[in-house]
């Protein structure tokens, strides 16, 4: 996610393994790969995929990921979209 715009840059669905990490990295736009720092958990596969100059592993206590909130937001948006499409 871009810190300024809050836009999601890329996503990949898969196992948390090196192959999936690589697939995700390949989906990140080149301008981001070359110019920004990526903050991840301390999972070892990221160290082999994200260049050290672009990678900062942070502790669980420092992370601000809220998967439940993101899922709820998606569901609300999805339901509102579907509701708006219902016949009146």
Which 3 state secondary structure label does DSSP give 58? coil
24 within domain boundaries: yes
**How confident is the model at residue 61, as a pLDDT?**
67
pLDDT range class, residue 83, cuts 50, 70, 90: confident
Nearest-CA neighbor of 19 among 48, 54, 55?
48
Q: How many domains does the chain have?
A: 1
d(CA 31, CA 15): 26
**How confident is the model at residue 2, as a pLDDT?**
84
**How confident is the model at residue 7, as a pLDDT?**
83
Q: For 23-72, write each residue's pLDDT tens digit.
A: 999 999 999 999 999 988 888 899 889 999 999 998 876 666 577 777 88
3 within domain boundaries: no
Nearest-CA neighbor of 34 among 54, 18, 16, 19?
54
Going by the DSSP 8-state scheme, the letter that residue 85 receives in this structure is T
pTM over 0.75: no
13 within domain boundaries: no
């Amino acid at each position: 996610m871009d810190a300024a715009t809050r836009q999601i840059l890329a996503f990949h669905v898969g196992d948390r393994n090196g192959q999936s990490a690589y697939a995700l990295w390949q989906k990140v736009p080149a301008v981001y790969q070359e110019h920004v720092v990526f903050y991840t958990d301390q999972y070892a596969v990221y160290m082999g995929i994200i260049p050290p100059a672009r990678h900062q592993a942070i502790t669980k206590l420092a992370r601000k990921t809220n998967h439940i909130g993101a899922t709820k937001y998606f569901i609300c948006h999805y339901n509102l979209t579907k509701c708006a499409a219902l016949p009146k």
